[in-house]
Structure formats: C-alpha cells, structure tokens
Amino acid sequence: MYKLSSWLYRVSGAPILLVAILVFVAFMVLVLPNMAGQLGEITGVDVSPDTSFIYSSTDLYEMAEAYGEEGRAYYIYSRFTFDVAWPLAYVFFLAVTTSYLYRNHSPGKSWKLVNLLPLVGGIFDFLENSAASLVMYRYPLETPVVATLAPVFTFIKWVLIVLSFAVLIIGLLLKVKNFIKVMRTS
C-alpha cells in the first residue's frame, strides 16, 4: 500500500493534475447529464442502487421488478460500459488531486495513505455494480448473499467517496492557508 501511495505522490505533478481535472470536468459536463436520465427513461423509474445511499436487498429486488426485462438489461449494460469509465474518471481525479495537494505535507506515514481512499472507493463501486448487476441478471431468481452485499458495497462506496472529497477540500484549504502565510511574509 505504501508503494502505491508513494508512486501516486511521485507521478501527481502539475501536468497529470491538469489532465485529471480536465477528464473529470469533461465527464461532469459532457457525459453525466446524458447518462443521468437514460435509466429513468428506459425503466420509468428514477431510483437506482448506484445513486442510493441506503437501501436493502428487498429494495434491490423491487427495483429489479420495476425496471422490467428491458430496464434490467440496460442497467447491466450501463454498469459495464459507462459505469466502468465514470469510476475510473473520478478515482483518477480524486487520487491525483489528493496526492498533489498532500505530497509536501508530512504529518506522518499513515496519513500519507489518504491518497488511496478514492481507489478503495472505486473498488467498492465496482463491487456494487457487479453485485447489483448479478441480482438484475438472475431476477426473478433470488441471489440472497449477493443481494445483501450490494447495499453494503454501495454504502461503503459513498462513505469513501464523501471522505475522499472531504480530504481533498481540507488539502485545498491547507494550500490556501500556506499561500496566504507565504504572501504575508513576503
């Protein structure tokens, strides 16, 4: 883990940071608005496991029922196309930005691992997508263990993503504080 974290700190210079920001903004502006409503249009339902913070396996089965056969097929397709690219984009952005902001900050060795939070969040996003897709694929057959794990993966994903953004904001505030401190002494 320390080697991966250290590597991220080393490669997260200004050029990579700029690429990460551009990719993230491009997804936010060009891709997400188009994708946001497509599942709802196809299924007639606005709820999705991916956007829910807390739901149960019962809720997941209710979504599978409400989506219908075409909606479930689209859900699975989108989890392994768009929802592979989107986590890669936000993980890239969060990991690089966090690494860039904290690379000269040395509060302790364990704290340096904070740049791995987005990667772990991305792993849970993929676990969530795989579990929910399996439930959708097998529906109306039940997949109890997987259906129970999907909401857990979703919850952990959201907690880690929120924490990643919080760490990023704190890092940004620390940079601004240091900048103001330098400006005052000049």
pLDDT in tens, the chain (186 residues): 889 999 999 999 999 999 999 999 999 999 888 876 787 788 888 888 988 999 999 999 999 999 999 999 999 999 999 889 999 999 999 999 999 999 887 666 677 899 999 999 999 999 999 999 999 999 999 999 999 999 999 999 999 999 999 999 999 999 999 889 989 987
* Nearby residues of 21 by Cβ (< 8 Å), 6 or more positions away: 93, 97
Task: Please report where in the chains the tokens 């502006």 appear, as a residue.
Answer: 29
Please tell me the number of Cα atoms within 13 Å of 135 on its side-chain side.
27
* Cβ–Cβ under 8 Å, residues 143 and 60: no
pLDDT tens by residue, 98-123: 999 998 876 666 778 999 999 999 99
Does residue 182 lie within any of the structural domains? no
Find where tokens 């397709």 sit.
77
Q: Give the single-character DSSP code of 139.
A: T
In the three-class reduction of DSSP (H, G, I as helix; E, B as strand; rest coil), residue 53 is classed as: coil
Q: Is residue 32 part of a domain?
A: yes
Is 178 domain-assigned? Answer: no
CA-wise closest residue to 125 among 165, 91, 163: 91
Q: Encoding tokens for residue 174?
A: 């620390």
Number of domains composing the chain: 1
Using alpha carbons, select from 110, 184, 9, 160 the residue that is nearest to residue 176: 184
Per the domain annotation, does 145 fall within a domain?
A: yes
Asked if residue 168 belongs to a domain, the reply is yes
Report pLDDT for 62.
96
Residue 42 pLDDT = 86
Tell me, yes or no, whether 125 lies in a domain.
yes
Establish if 186 belongs to a structural domain: no
Expressed as residue numbers, the domain containing 38 is: 2-173
Q: How far apart are the first and last CA of the chain?
A: 39
Q: Does any domain span residue 179?
A: no
Amino acid symbol at 29: V
Distance CA 99, CA 114 (A): 8
